[in-house]
Amino acid sequence: NTVFTVTLASGIQSVSGFDSDVEQRVSFTTELSVVKLAVPFHRQEHNLSCEAAALYMALRYRGISVTETALINAMGFDPTQKANGVWGNPNVAFVGDIDGHQPTTGYGIYWDPIARAAQKYRPARAFTGWTIQQLTAEIKKGNPVVIWGTAGTGKRIDWKTPQGGNVVAVSGEHARVAIGFIGPADNPSKIITMDPLAGEKYFTRSSF
């Protein structure tokens, strides 16, 4: 996405024909560098099954035939009922009703149990605190990356587990798959995702 201008000064001598007597200029713009994996779209089958649906898309890209239901069963459920600021632990299993409404009757699940579910089918790992460069490096290797964010602006709604631990949570918690980027890998202008509700979605680097 860079404009280049080539200038040929006047006075160039011709091998055969006429010498140039005027300056010539030609401009052109290079194409944007785009890396995008052909991850198939899959719409989540339950109100709050975005995490399982995102994993489904990543596995299907790798040629693994599996159902969303099988992935939901593999990730597990926390039976803790929501009451008085206490609820289940999404770092262990799915919290609330997967057909419920967030954040009143259902919530979701985080990366560690999703990585464990993925490991039933192929090597996978959970991570936090990655840089943009680490993310784009994995995509360049052909690895789609399941990511957590929000649908909407998000608001902190932390709660306690029955064991007394604190759960960092946000309203609108939502998982997608990072499938590509625009620009150089060390400084992309946009990140391309596949959203289990909206399909292909682009984020500027700052918004991502």
pLDDT at 2: 84
At position 94, the amino acid (one-letter code) is: F
Angle of helix 68-75 relative to helix 50-61, nearest 10 degrees, comes to: 120
- What tens digit of pLDDT does each residue of 111-142 get? 999 999 999 999 999 999 999 999 999 999 99
- What tens digit of pLDDT does each residue of 25-67 get? 999 988 788 999 999 999 999 999 999 999 999 999 999 999 9
pLDDT at 186: 93
Long-range contacts of 180-185 (CB under 8 A, 24+ apart): 180/34, 180/35, 180/36, 180/37, 180/139, 181/34, 181/35, 181/135, 181/136, 181/139, 182/32, 182/33, 182/34, 183/1, 183/32, 183/33, 184/33, 185/35, 185/133, 185/136, 185/137, 185/140
If pLDDT is split at 50, 70 and 90, which confidence band does 153 have?
confident
Phi, psi of 30 (to 5 degrees): -75, 155
pLDDT at 28: 93
